[in-house]
Amino acid sequence: MEAYVTAEHSAEGIATITFFHPAQNSMPSALLQRLAATISEVGEDERTKVIVLKSGGERTFCAGASFEELASIETEEQGLAFFSGFAKVINACRQSSAIVLGRVQGKAVGGGVGLAAATDYCLATQHAAVRLSELLIGIGPFVVGPAIERKIGVAAFSQMTLNAATFYSADWAKEKGLYAEVYESIEALDAALATLARQLASYNPEALRQLKKVFWEGTEHWSTLLYERAAMSGHLVLSEQTRAAIAKFKA
Ligand SMILES: C/C(=C\C(=O)SCCNC(=O)CCNC(=O)[C@H](O)C(C)(C)COP(=O)(O)OP(=O)(O)OC[C@H]1O[C@@H](n2cnc3c(N)ncnc32)[C@H](O)[C@@H]1OP(=O)(O)O)CC(=O)O
């Protein structure tokens, strides 16, 4: 199946945005651009009160940066352009006037943890373990770092980053504040998500919009910071360590 981003609107004002890539929902540039644009467009639509951000498939919410695309980067400009895709998605969630609910059904790795952290309220299953594997491939979680640190604090962010090979459980992620709720199954997750989304959509939309601004106060500088961070990963990705690590993963 081909990669896609779709958006569906319910009569109650709930917009469900789904992204998918056949390689464990890993993210090439084109998919990141489409996802960022869709989040922005849907948020600007007057019908939208709540956005649900989800991915297709069951095993993996998002495997982060596409290794195929990372392997094809040859210049710092290309590196900056690629990692800016994550900056755009995070900033689109941050700047959307709608509350964004995350639905994390399976593992989240690297940039995938950043996408979960960019949501306002994130629900997950017990299978939704998280790992920041960037150091394993010669880079760091620079672009996604501010969003993750905002949710779990600098201590847990440092722990995850430096233990790059370790998957942390969904319960750990809940304890640290990345997930608000963890469910035993996808069915239970979807039932809780539907109830929460409907409840939120019934509240005063102006109150929700004001709350959204309050939640993200102090992050205005991310409009530049995340691109500076993208340049850092964009530089490091040209290293021999990165090339060797990706070749080894794909072997
Ligand atoms: C944003 C910033 C940095 C990043 O995001 S760096 C990228 C970090 N991501 C990873 O390190 C993911 C590595 N993948 C995994 O850990 C696992 O594959 C998984 C996602 C946990 C899934 O594990 P599972 O055992 O279920 O599946 P497989 O490992 O057998 O994989 C199946 C299939 O998918 C391919 N694949 C997995 N991840 C990627 C990927 N990122 N890109 C491309 N392809 C991927 C894998 O190769 C397998 O393919 P086959 O052809 O089927 O062998 C930087 C910043 O913040 O600055």
User: For the residues 189-203, what does the mean pLDDT come to?
Assistant: 98
Write the CA distances from 241 to 28, 142, 145, 173, integer angstroms: 20, 17, 21, 29
For residue 251, the model assigns a pLDDT of 75
- What percent of the chain is predicted at pLDDT more than 90? 96
For residue 250, is pLDDT > 80?
Answer: no
Q: Is the CB of 64 under 6 A from ligand 1?
A: yes
Kindly indicate the confidence band of residue 66, based on its pLDDT and cuts at 50, 70 and 90.
very high
Predicted TM-score (pTM) above 0.90: yes
For residue 249, is pLDDT > 90?
Answer: no
Q: Is the CB of 86 under 6 A from ligand 1?
A: yes
Domain parsing of the chain, residue ranges: 4-201
User: For the residues 125-150, what does the mean pLDDT come to?
Assistant: 98
For residue 246, the model assigns a pLDDT of 87
Amino acid, single-letter form, for residue 146: P
Angle separating helix axes 222-236 and 145-162, nearest 10 degrees:
40
User: For the residues 130-136, what does the mean pLDDT come to?
Assistant: 97
Atom number in ligand 1 closest to CA 141:
56
User: For the residues 17-42, what does the mean pLDDT come to?
Assistant: 98
Kindly indicate the confidence band of residue 19, based on its pLDDT and cuts at 50, 70 and 90.
very high
- What percent of the chain is predicted at pLDDT more than 70? 100
Q: Strand 107-109 vs strand 130-131: parallel, antiparallel, or unpaired? A: parallel
CATH 3.40.1360.10 assigned to domain 4-201? The reply is no
Query: What confidence tens digit (pLDDT) does each residue in 212-224 have?
Result: 999 999 999 999 9
Report how far residue 201's alpha carbon sits from residue 81's, in angstroms, rounded to the nearest whole number: 36
CA 155 to chain centroid = 20
CA 161 to chain centroid = 16
Q: Which of 20, 24, 59, 107 to mutate to test the pocket of ligand 1 (most atoms within 8 A of CB)?
A: 24
Across the chain, mean pLDDT equals 97
Q: 13 Cβ partners below 8 Å, 6+ apart?
A: 47, 48, 49, 50, 201, 205
User: Nearest 5°: phi and psi at 22?
Assistant: -60, -25
Q: Which of 66, 109, 161, 241 to mutate to test the pocket of ligand 1 (most atoms within 8 A of CB)?
A: 109
Query: What confidence tens digit (pLDDT) does each residue in 72-93 have?
Result: 999 999 999 999 999 999 999 9
Query: What confidence tens digit (pLDDT) does each residue in 92-127 have?
Result: 999 999 999 999 999 999 999 999 999 999 999 999
For residue 56, the model assigns a pLDDT of 98
Q: Is the dihedral of CA 216, 25, 170, 229 positive or negative?
A: negative
User: For the residues 184-199, what does the mean pLDDT come to?
Assistant: 98
